Structure 1
Amino acid sequence: MSVSANLPERVYATIKRKILNGEIAPGARLLEKSLCEELKVSRTPVREALNRLGNEDLVLFRPHCGFLAAPLTADGARKLKDLRLIVESKVAALAALRATKSQIDALRDAAEMPVVIPGDDESFVRFCQANSRFHLLLTRTIDNQPLENIVMSALDQYQRPAYLGIGRVSDRTKATKCHHDIVDALLERDPFKAEAVMSGHVIGGSERIIKALVEAGL
């Protein structure tokens, strides 16, 4: 694939990373001209990236104002919790019925979460990446690309406050146990158990983020 063909994806990935890691602050205006100059590209790939990020709810468009990085709010986190409960709990239930042995083995290998070192941003990024990998591997067992896209977008939004230091997890033990419990439910071919464990997993993490956002006045 040519460099020019890769350009829209590179621009999208760069802007998305800046939003997720807080380099572009929540609520900040995204000026197309400035982004074009910074990334040394034309307006077309920048506009394409912003529209794509808008579909992922990481960017908003406001008339007479333009594009903004989506703000972080407790209300938004509550709505995201509802979405993840509906989608990811059912994904887990379907995975219990559809996942192959090799897929379950891969999930077991991915279930262990890395250690988070307080104050070490890199260790936290590794934790988030490992968590996303487990959830995406689980979603891929049901072979449904639209659902995979929804889960990927939801995970990005869920982990965004923590990347900014809000509601960071400090103990990998609970997440690791939940992941292993989900794998056990898949091995038992028990969709009800898989759904219940995933629901508890989503609620626990979401409530931690919501509480932190409320305490931060957001």
Structure 2
Amino acid sequence: MSLSKRVAPLLLADQVYATLQEAILNGELPPGSRLTVRELAEQVGTSPMPVREAIRRLEEAGLVHREPHRGAVVRGLTLEELVHVYDIRRLLEVEAARLGSERISAEDCERMQAEYSLMRAAIRDGRVVPYLDHDEALLSILYNAAGNPLLVQMIRSLWQQCRAYKIVGAKGSLDSPEDVSLWRYQQDLIAAARESDSAGAAAVNEASLLDATDRIKARLDAQGER
């Protein structure tokens, strides 16, 4: 087999993975949806091989799991997992904010401000996924300033694992125009970073993640997800 023939299925798997991931995160494939290889291959117009590889990667990312007699299924949301994931996020992200705010440059603070403006625009337009993308970009700038790539990698992995929970929380807040929780903490975090206020940045992140946990819990309770 030529190298080009080996590479082609991998490139297709990347495209299928991105398509399925987006469909899961935006709710087109809700929790409990079965991912049947042949059906998905027909829908995306590929052979089964790239779809199998994409599903395997979705399992690794925590978005899909295997159920007896059903195969690959989009994972549901549980209060237990929510608490566990957000507890770990607090441990890592409070420290990342503390370290990052001590070392961040003025230029990076301006980059955070630019992402904040894009985030507020997404809120005004009611676009949940772009809101989360800009929120994570803003936080990544601060966390990268800490100078620990492994810390940022671990945090990004947790973001991916809990993206479905974040969507639930963001949608709930967007449904309440008076709710400022989607932007208030980021505003305070930028202010703390500009002042190199490590204690303040850590406190903002702690409060933000605790608030997010409570909001998502309330939404899951309302939806009957347990």
Q: Normalising TM by the smaller chain, what interval?
A: 0.7 to 0.9
Per the alignment, in what secondary structure is the counterpart of residue 214 of structure 2? helix
Check conservation: 1:33, 1:43, Cα contact below 8 A: yes
Cα gap change, 1:185/1:150 in structure 2, threshold over 3 Å: closer, same or farther?
A: same
Check conservation: 2:64, 2:72, Cα contact below 8 A: yes
Distance in 2 (CA, whole Å) between partners of 1:211 and 1:188 is: 34
Distance in 2 (CA, whole Å) between partners of 1:10 and 1:181 is: 38
- Choose which of 145, 158, 168 in structure 2 pairs with 1:154: 158
Q: How does 1:31-180 map to 2 (within 5 A)?
A: 31-112=36-117, 113-114=119-120, 116=123, 122-161=126-165, 163=167, 168-170=172-174, 171=177, 173-180=180-187
Cα gap change, 1:35/1:164 in structure 2, threshold over 3 Å: closer, same or farther?
A: farther
Gaps of 5+ in 1: none
Gaps of 5+ in 2: none
Deviation of 1:160 (Å): 2.2
Check conservation: 2:115, 2:137, Cα contact below 8 A: yes
- Choose which of 196, 209, 215 in structure 1 pairs with 2:222: 215
Distance in 2 (CA, whole Å) between partners of 1:81 and 1:137 is: 20
TM-score (ref. length: structure 1): 0.82
Cα gap change, 1:177/1:163 in structure 2, threshold over 3 Å: closer, same or farther?
A: closer
Distance in 2 (CA, whole Å) between partners of 1:207 and 1:167 is: 14
Kindly indicate whether residue 206 of structure 2 is the aligned counterpart of residue 199 of structure 1: yes
Identity score, percent:
28
Partner of 1:188: 195
Deviation of 1:203 (Å): 1.1
TM-score (ref. length: structure 2): 0.80
Aligned Cα RMSD in Å? 2.8
Check conservation: 1:167, 1:209, Cα contact below 8 A: no
Deviations 1:169-189 (A, max 9, x none): 134633323112212222222
Distance in 2 (CA, whole Å) between partners of 1:108 and 1:32 is: 43
Cα gap change, 1:168/1:154 in structure 2, threshold over 3 Å: closer, same or farther?
A: farther
Larger radius of gyration: 2
Distance in 2 (CA, whole Å) between partners of 1:130 and 1:49 is: 25
Cα gap change, 1:167/1:212 in structure 2, threshold over 3 Å: closer, same or farther?
A: farther
Partner of 2:11: 6
The total of aligned residue pairs comes to 214
Per the alignment, in what secondary structure is the counterpart of residue 60 of structure 1? strand
Kindly indicate whether residue 33 of structure 2 is the aligned counterpart of residue 28 of structure 1: yes
Check conservation: 2:31, 2:75, Cα contact below 8 A: yes
